[in-house]
Chain A
């Protein structure tokens, strides 16, 4: 079976999603175990795939329908694919187990369909990460988008409008990407990513490819909510139900960043991306503004979920900026941050799920939480510290690489954009510290209970989240520290194996 890992990662969830949708009409009991089993199988095969990649030292090729590269659709799985695949499947699995209770609460009649949409969304993301075909990526992008709209649009009373706006923007982004693929096709005559990369350096005139590059990147930036195309994200995410936001917020933007990295390095080749386009400095500036604006807007929010969504916007800036610094350290930081930020975002959104399940979304409601929910708050504190970037947690290490990448870029070219990027990173860390310590402070206050003044009433009853939520939450919080401790190994054994020799002089 090990030769079929690339297919199994995607096929098992796809088949299960279809079966779950049917089973939901007959007996709802089986939906949850089936869904968990399929995502677990997908996670196990992606772990197996990583080992397979390490064994073959670089690339596992899988030919769908048995056809060779340009004719059929071929997966070329390398270190980057398999790393992100593990992240996607793991986040989806943990969040599914975490949200079982709230799913049963929120959608009693539509459980089966919810699970089917949830797994289809994961399938879409997994397929986007695994694929080696530029057009296949578009189809899977649309699967993930459509199911994502459904999962977001079912939230509170404002969610349909904000999701509809997301749908408009998302369609613009996806269609631009499709248009870009079309231009690549008319210039190269192929859709296979590896093939395109071989043809591009040989082309006599690259005007069409340049246009394709710009339009693809604009499409992806819209999809990943890079400033100034970020307008849809905060509303769409903060109005969504907590069970789906735990899946969508950590993964959508990260997978889109992954596609940007893939497009920049594998499709268009690094020489073209960083040397011929002359866009890198502008995009670094965009990400700098994105980081600063995201952080400032986050400061202004009183609603916890909304604050998190602006942090997501700022984090997109980190990853995009890091990649476009164009040196090895920056790209390493960007890829490492895909992994770490998925885990961190999952952690704080899980906390949001527990808070809105137990108390509410407003930060002012959080009074006395450290006493009321000691375990939840411990895990939440780890997540918060990681987003700030405090050393033993993983957030510190990816920021370290990003800042070092910035310093190197400043040394090499003296670019002001890279300097601004470093300043923006530090500023954003400072803002994150303010944001989370504000919450910690509020949560340490005693609640203004009615029994104020009576002796013996001051002991607050412990009112913890159910175990089914706490255990996955702790696993995620622990993984933040785990990822932090082993980040050196991840970088040297996986990420550095992927990053190609970059053109000199950047």
Chain B
């Protein structure tokens, strides 16, 4: 694997690393809020992935000029579709975060802690 391959696909490596960090935190962390943070990183990694596939070298933002007789050259503009999709995914991410925090607050009220091992110990004692 040479350097050129790594550089040409920099977006891919970036998203893979973020995804794995998020996934690790989501599975391994003991604190529920840290898990939630991991979840957000995990989702954001996928958003990064989508957005970077829309890039065209030298492209502009997808707002097309519209003078008379102007012909749009598609190669000069970014691909709009991934942006649209990710707007939806961002909203979904925010919504999930809200519900996750609401549940975490409920857990905290119930047990007085957010450390998962402490909570599990309490459940076992009951």
CA distance A150 to B35 in the complex (A): 19
Contact status of A160 and B103, CB under 8 A, knowing A167-B96, A182-B49: yes
Main secondary structure of the interface of B (DSSP, over half): helix
| A109 and B119 alpha carbons, distance in the complex (Å) | 29
Give Cα A139–Cα B85 distance, bound, in whole angstroms. Answer: 10
Residue of A nearest to B47 (CB): A178
Check B78 for interface membership: any CB of A closer than 8 A: no
User: CB distance B92 to A168 under 8 Å?
Assistant: no
Q: Which residue of A lies closest to B35 (CB)?
A: A168
Chain B contacts of A138 at CB under 8 A? 89
> A164 with B46: in contact, given A142-B95, A153-B106, A158-B123 (CB under 8 Å)?
no
Residues of the B chain whose Cβ atoms lie less than 8 Å from the Cβ of A145: 96
Contact B46 A175 (CB under 8 A): yes
Chain B interface extent, by class: 20 to 34
Chain B residues whose CB sits within 8 angstroms of the CB of A139 once the complex forms: 88, 92
- CB of B53 within 8 Å of the partner chain: yes
Assembled-state Cα–Cα distance A20/B69 (Å): 50
Q: Which residues of A contact B53 (CB under 8 A)?
A: 182, 185-186
Known: A142-B96, A146-B95, A146-B96. A178 touches B103 (CB 8 A): no
Query: Provided the pairs A142-B92, A142-B95 are in contact, do residues A179 and B107 lie with their beta carbons within 8 angstroms?
Result: no
Within 8 A of A (CB), among B20-63: 23, 26, 32, 35, 39, 42-43, 46, 49-50, 53
- A160 and B85 contact, CB distance less than 8 A: no
A188 at the interface (CB under 8 A from B): no
Task: For the complex, give the distance between the alpha carbons of A178 and B50 in Å.
Answer: 10
Contact between A182 and B106, CB atoms less than 8 A apart: no
- With A139-B92, A161-B119, A167-B100 known as contacts, the answer to whether A175 contacts B85 (CB < 8 A) is no
Task: Tell me if B18 is interfacial: C-beta within 8 Å of chain A.
Answer: no
Q: Is the interface of A mostly helix, strand, loop or mixed?
A: helix
| A163 partner residues in chain B, CB cutoff 8 A | 103
A182 & B26 in contact (Cβ 8 Å cutoff): no
Known: A139-B88, A160-B110, A164-B32. A172 touches B26 (CB 8 A): yes
For A149, give the chain B residue with the smallest CB separation: B99
Number of interface residues of A (CB under 8 A): 25
A266 interface residue per 8 A CB criterion: no
Contact B100 A172, beta carbon cutoff 8 Å: no
A280 to B107, CA, bound (A): 40
Cβ contacts under 8 Å, A171 to chain B: 26, 39, 42-43, 96
* Interface flags, B113-124, vs A, CB<8A=1, else 0: 000000100010
**Is residue A396 within 8 Å, beta carbon to beta carbon, of the partner chain?**
no
Closest to A159 in B: B106
User: Smallest CB–CB gap between B120 and chain A, Å?
Assistant: 9
Contact B100 A182 (CB under 8 A): no
Q: How far is the CA of A157 from the CA of B123 in the complex (A)?
A: 10
**What is the distance, in angstroms, from B121's C-beta to the closest C-beta of chain A?**
13
Q: How far is A163 from B50 in the complex, measured between Cα atoms in Å?
A: 29
Q: Does A135 contact B (CB under 8 A)?
A: yes
Instruction: Select which of A142, A160, A168 is within 8 A of B26 by beta carbon.
Output: A168
**Does the CB pair B43–A175 fall under 8 Å?**
yes
Q: How far is the CA of A185 from the CA of B83 in the complex (A)?
A: 13
Evaluate contact between B99 and A150: CB separation under 8 angstroms: yes
CA distance A168 to B107 in the complex (A): 14
Whether the pair B103, A135 counts as a contact (CB closer than 8 A) is no
Q: Bound state CA distance, A229 and B43, in angstroms?
A: 20
**With A139-B92, A158-B123, A168-B26: A182-B50 Cβ-Cβ less than 8 Å:** yes
Q: Determine if B110 and A164 form an interchain contact, defined as CB atoms under 8 angstroms apart.
A: no
Across the interface, which residues of B come within 8 angstroms of A185, CB to CB?
Answer: 53, 81-82
C-alpha spacing A186/B92, complex, angstroms:
22
- Asked whether B42 lies within 8 Å of A172 as measured between CB atoms, the reply is yes
Please determine whether B46 and A179 come into contact, CB atoms closer than 8 angstroms.
Answer: yes
**Beta-carbon contact of B23 and A178 below 8 Å:** no
Chain B residues, CB < 8 A from A146: 95-96, 99
Give Cα A172–Cα B43 distance, bound, in whole angstroms. 9
| Known contacts A142-B96, A164-B104, A182-B53, then 18 further A-B pairs from the complex at CB < 8 Å, ordered by chain A residue | A142-B92, A150-B99, A153-B103, A153-B106, A160-B107, A161-B110, A161-B111, A164-B100, A167-B100, A168-B35, A168-B39, A171-B26, A171-B96, A175-B42, A178-B46, A182-B46, A185-B53, A185-B82
8 closest A-B pairs by CB: A160-B106, A164-B103, A142-B92, A160-B107, A160-B103, A161-B107, A186-B53, A179-B46
